[in-house]
Amino acid sequence: MSGINITELDKVYDSGTENVVAVESLSVDIDHGEFLVLVGPSGCGKSTTLRCLAGLEDATAGTIRFDGEDVTEYRASERDVAMVFQNYALYPHMTVRGNIGFGLKLSTKLTGDEIEAKVEDVAEMLGIRELLDEKPKALSGGQQQRVALGRAIVREPSVFLMDEPLSNLDAKLRSEMRTELQELQADLDVTTVYVTHDQTEAMAMGDRIAVMDGGVLQQVGSPEEVYRSPVNRFVADFIGSPSINLLTADVEDGTLAGPGGFAYELDGSEPVDGHERVSVGVRPEDIEVVESGRNAADVTVVEPMGNENFLYMEIGGHELTARVSPTVRPAEGSQVAFDFDEAALYLFDVETGDALKTKTDSVDSAVVGTTQN
């Protein structure tokens, strides 16, 4: 078990004619036993960062420390890490037993019997004992996923690295494995870095989330923190599903004036002082449909989910999404008035995207309690 310190990590790919910067001066400290999720759109450098941690890519600059020890120049095999790949990368010609035991066979002085015993234990733990003599080809995606996990677990590494390990599974299995992985990680108490492009997965699994974009780390924080207090528009837009509604509005005497006659009067105008235009963000669940109000939008689609309804609306050519109670069900094509609390409002600088104001509404303490555990 070890903590990880990444300091000013750069990774530049030199294609001969041009340099492609994949990761730019990324610094993050990961605690012992922490579950950190690297999340971002494809091409944001999250996988490259993970591969640098694994030792599969050489860092162009910066240092990586495991438990204080500088491992930047170490080969993958010297770092005591285990990695789970997106497509599992099981050895097709070996049985499950061979696959799980392979690392031990190569990198430890354990006897054949000891390896056998460890493999059996891990297989038992993952519920794949009866599959030990099968070849990967004969297994389902979920079973292969377990074998890939087993291969990582059996080595008792100091760090787990996971590169989108659940993205090849179907939705139901994915959410099952998600829970299982979390439990496993908590039991083993091994520092884990987990890469995903799926923000739901990141929110659900991470102790902390590191959001990346364009090779640059945007924000590191608890799921709650990045959701409620994003540092910029990108993080606000990326985290949360359905995505936050974003509009550009003019600031006129403490009032926000947007497209389609959108107007919102601010009680506290400090955040927008000195700005002529701002980006306005409202989460879909913060939009309320009201009897009458200043703002109105045309309903284009209503999607009943059973426990809630999604309203897709249009205001001045902009799409707005609202997540409302199942009892609110306006006719498609009708116009509805909507409103939201100022406390739920996000404001961003139009040019830089930096956050000027984020959610300030109070949080139900019970909710906070569960997300922090």
Partner 1 sequence: MATSDETNDRVEQTYRRRARARIQSVGRRLRRAARPGWDRVRFARQDLTAAMPALPRVAYLFIAPFFVLFGLFLAFPVFYTLYLSFFEYQGVGEGSLFWIDLGPLYVEIPQIAQLNFVGLGNYARLLGNDLFWQSMFNTSYILAVQVPLMIGLALALALALNASFMRLKGVFRTAIALPVSANLVAYSTVFLLLFNEQLGFLNYVLSGVGLGPIPWLTSEFWARNTIIAAVTWRWTGYNMIILLAGLQTIPQQLYEAAEIDGANRWEKFRYVTLPQLKPVLLFVVVLSTIGTFKLFAEPYVITGGGPTNATITIVQYIYRQAFVNFNLGYASALTVVFVVVVSIFSIIQIKLGGED
For binding to partner 1 (CB under 8 A), which residues are involved? 54-56, 75-77, 81-83, 85, 87, 89-94, 102-103, 106-107, 151, 155, 171-172, 174-175, 178-179, 200, 204, 241-242, 301, 303, 305, 307-308, 310, 312
Work out the end-to-end distance of the chain between its first and last CA atoms, rounded to an integer number of angstroms: 20
CB of residue 255 to partner 1, shortest distance in Å: 32
Q: Which residues pair with 12 in a beta bridge?
A: 21
Nearest Cα neighbor of 199 from 183, 218, 185, 184 is 218
Rounded Cα distance between 310 and 242, Å, is: 9
- Give the span between the Cα atoms of 159 and 32, in whole angstroms: 9
Residue closer to partner 1, measured from CB, 160 or 264: 160
Our CB check for partner 1 shows the closer of 352 and 370 to be 370
For residue 252, the minimal CB distance to partner 1 (Å) is 33
Residue 316: name the closest of 245, 240, 254, 252 by CA: 245
- Nearer to partner 1 by Cβ, of 283 and 357: the residue is 283
> Could you tell me the smallest distance in angstroms from the CB atom of residue 157 to partner 1?
9
Contact call for residues 23 and 11 (beta carbons, < 8 A): yes
Min dist CB 83 to partner 1, Å, is 5
Nearest to residue 152, comparing CAs of 110, 181, 116?
181
Least distance (Å) from partner 1 to the CB of residue 239? 13
Q: What DSSP assignment string belongs to 61-101? A: EEEEEETTEE-TT--GGGTTEEEE-TT----TTS-HHHHHH
Nearer to partner 1, 183 or 270 (CB): 183
Residue nearer to partner 1 on the CB measure, 8 or 176 = 176
Tell me the Cα Rg of the chain.
24
**CB of 72 or CB of 200, closer to partner 1:** 200
Nearer to partner 1 by C-beta: 88 or 346? 88
89 vs 356 by CB, closer to partner 1: 89
Let me know if 371 is exposed, middle or buried by CB neighbors in 10 A (0-12, 13-18, 19+): middle
181 to each of 31, 84, 157, 297, how far by Cα in Å?
A: 18, 12, 16, 43
Smallest CA-to-CA distance from 212 within 188, 224, 194 is with: 194
Closest CB 176 distance from partner 1, rounded Å: 9
- State how beta strands 19-30 and 309-315 pair: unpaired
Q: How far is the CB of 66 from partner 1 (least distance, A)?
A: 14
Cα distance between residue 150 and residue 128, in whole Å: 9
In whole angstroms, how close is the CB of 305 to partner 1 at the nearest point?
6
